[in-house]
Amino acid sequence: MKHPILLLVLCVTGALAQAAKVELDPSHWGHPEGENCVSCHAKASPGLAEQWRESAHQRAGVNCLDCHQADSADVDAITHEGQVIATIVSPKDCGRCHQQEFEEQAGSVHAEAHAIISERVPALAHNLTGAAMQAAGCDQCHGSRVKVRGDGSLDPTTWPNSGIGRINPDGSKGSCSSCHGRHAFSKAQAREPDACVRCHSGPDSPDKEVFEASKHGMIYKANREAMNLDADTWIAGQDYKAAPTCVTCHMGGAGKIPSTHDVGLRNAWSLNTPVSARQYLVVLESGEKLELPADQKPPKRGSELTKADGGTGKVKMVVGPDRRRQIMSMVCLECHGKTFTASFMDQFDAVVQLYNGKFGEPAAAIMKGLYEQGLLTPLPFDEPLEFIYWELWHDEGARARHGAAMMSPNHAWWEGMYLVGRNFYSRFLPEARAVAGGAAAELVDSVLARSDHHRWQSSPDAANPILGWSPPPRLEPDTSELEESADPSGQSPRAGAEAQAVAPMTEAVPVSPASEGRGDD
């Protein structure tokens, strides 16, 4: 099972659509000395011992020492009651048995979570607040670079940590306990949406809130007992059908799609960037993966690429965004019709493109111009405009896109794109013009003029029923009517008529019969 992508591309049979069985000979499990660990830890830390006692590991005969055993030469090896162990059980350790899961997560966007923000940490965690925030904040989701001190202890500024992109002392990336809480390693718990909530909630990736507010989340809540969360295999449509969870769409087996521990595998778009890009998934010879924007030429097989960590790797395979979308859609098809699924994806794509074209790209261009002209210092977050821009794409912009991706209308609009628009027009543009000063026409307004998205602003006297006021009708300069129309209740007969005429056009969403699919909404 070395190349899960190959399997995906070749559309393997449904029999593989489940987590890989461990391959190591079970006769190697159950280190005899592990019994001593259990005997003592049942007394010294009964909570964790009891979690293990009720786990699938215990039933399979896997004990403490099978996972924690280390070699004396290991960087983080310590002696403990006569045994050489390591406190941290890294994905590499788990991979001694769960090889496929290890390889899948090793190149995933999750495993690179530390690398993704390592350039942001100094500006945000250190400058904006203080270094102490890194351990308690950023690193708890993105993972720390765990440091082993000369006396063998784990540096408390870097550990405890179970961030998903943790850089382990053995060089491996990630932390299985991020989702499978130690020491139970429950499958059911990892299949719960709550397993993702620690990180995927809040301003920039409110996926918990988005999911809960979506039809999927509502159905899940109402039918949780029908979800078969404890099942050995968990294939959508086969082992359960009540509702999807995060795992269902992003990792789970469904039909011909095998399950994967590469959680970003099926994502066609990048949604947490200033401007979203459709992305290639590049698989390297080493098994590592990286993502490249699809507007660049796809790298050729065998060519060399620079990885996130600065090293180079040879391209083995490139999976295009369409293929990734197709795989995600095949999960949808377990419960939805083809047209329904495709049309939903179209709606989602349209929101991302709207965000890009109307806000993301112009805002990025304006910022670039201001930096290039020296009107903003390169240092991040020392000027108000930088905060405004950061929140525009990182918070509100991401929320809008995630809301559209996961069908929470409230997050797509009120918590998302509405705030993006408000920020863009009422904070970002005024501040950008102020920063640009005399160069505003060149650096700000010319950027806006490149698209039609902002043309509505050139009609300042358009009707205004939404704010309870309409401009006086020009053609009927009757003073008594003027006063009437200034009434905050907006009861002017003409204004009312206009509002009615406008409202259906802006609110009605055309629904074509084809998008109803099989009617299995």
CB of 116 to other proteins, least distance (A): 28
Q: Does 79 sit near other proteins (CB under 8 A)?
A: yes
CA distance 2 to 317: 13
CA distance 355 to 274: 10
How many binding residues for other proteins (CB under 8 A)? 20
Question: Stretches 79-87, 288-296, 323-331, 447-455: which one binds other proteins (CB under 8 A)?
Answer: 79-87
> Contact, 423 vs 393, CB < 8 A?
no
CB of 169 to other proteins, least distance (A): 11
CA distances from 393 to 5, 24, 272, 399 (A): 31, 46, 8, 9
CA distance 45 to 63: 15
- Which residue lies nearer to other proteins by CB, 129 or 153? 153
β-partners of residue 257 are: 254
Residues comprising the chain, all counted: 521
- Which residue lies nearer to other proteins by CB, 153 or 377? 153
β-partners of residue 312 are: 306
Nearest alpha-carbon partner for 379 in 49, 126, 199: 126
Distance of CA 178 to the CA centre of its chain: 15
Options 1, 12, 16, 78; binder of other proteins; rule CB under 8 A: 78
> Contact, 190 vs 202, CB < 8 A?
no
Token pair, residue 60, equals: 């399979």
- Which residue lies nearer to other proteins by CB, 77 or 284? 77
- Which residue lies nearer to other proteins by CB, 77 or 190? 77
Nearest alpha-carbon partner for 247 in 257, 230, 237, 260: 260
The secondary structure of residue 405, as a DSSP letter, is H
- Which residue lies nearer to other proteins by CB, 152 or 493? 152
Looking at residue 485, its amino acid is S
The secondary structure of residue 278, as a DSSP letter, is B
Q: Does 167 sit near other proteins (CB under 8 A)?
A: no
Draw the binding track, 42-61, toward other proteins (x: CB under 8 A; -: no contact): -xx-x---------------
Question: What angle, rounded to 10 degrees, do the helices at 46-53 and 34-44 form?
Answer: 130
- Which residue lies nearer to other proteins by CB, 28 or 149? 149
- Which residue lies nearer to other proteins by CB, 81 or 507? 81
Q: Does 2 sit near other proteins (CB under 8 A)?
A: no
Contact set for other proteins, span 409-438 (CB under 8 A):
none
The span from the first CA to the last CA of the chain, in angstroms, equals 36
Question: Stretches 17-25, 76-84, 309-317, 361-369: which one binds other proteins (CB under 8 A)?
Answer: 76-84
CA distance 21 to 16: 10
- Which residue lies nearer to other proteins by CB, 152 or 311? 152
CB of 45 to other proteins, least distance (A): 10
Q: Does 87 sit near other proteins (CB under 8 A)?
A: no
CA distance 114 to 164: 8
Q: For residue 298, with 0-12 CB atoms within 10 Å meaning exposed, 13-18 middle and 19 or more buried, which class applies? A: middle
> Contact, 146 vs 161, CB < 8 A?
yes
Options 2, 27, 47, 82; binder of other proteins; rule CB under 8 A: 82
CB of 414 to other proteins, least distance (A): 51
CA distance 384 to 391: 11
Beta strand ranges found along 40-199 (DSSP E): 78-80, 83-85
Contact set for other proteins, span 139-158 (CB under 8 A):
148-153
Draw the binding track, 98-137, toward other proteins (x: CB under 8 A; -: no contact): ----------------------------------------
Options 25, 81, 461, 520; binder of other proteins; rule CB under 8 A: 81
- Which residue lies nearer to other proteins by CB, 77 or 405? 77
> Contact, 165 vs 146, CB < 8 A?
no
Options 17, 65, 67, 77; binder of other proteins; rule CB under 8 A: 77
Looking at residue 382, its amino acid is D
Question: Stretches 40-48, 61-69, 346-354, 488-496: which one binds other proteins (CB under 8 A)?
Answer: 40-48
Question: Stretches 23-31, 39-47, 196-204, 231-239: which one binds other proteins (CB under 8 A)?
Answer: 39-47
Looking only at the bridges linking them, the beta strands covering 235-236 and 253-254 are parallel
CB of 77 to other proteins, least distance (A): 4
Segment holding 435, helix H or strand E? helix 429-436
- Which residue lies nearer to other proteins by CB, 39 or 426? 39
Looking at residue 147, its amino acid is K
Q: Does 89 sit near other proteins (CB under 8 A)?
A: no
The secondary structure of residue 429, as a DSSP letter, is H
- Which residue lies nearer to other proteins by CB, 158 or 343? 158
Question: Stretches 23-31, 41-49, 311-319, 359-367: which one binds other proteins (CB under 8 A)?
Answer: 41-49
CB of 156 to other proteins, least distance (A): 13
Residues that bind other proteins (CB under 8 A): 36, 39-40, 43-44, 46, 72, 75, 77-79, 81-82, 84, 148-153
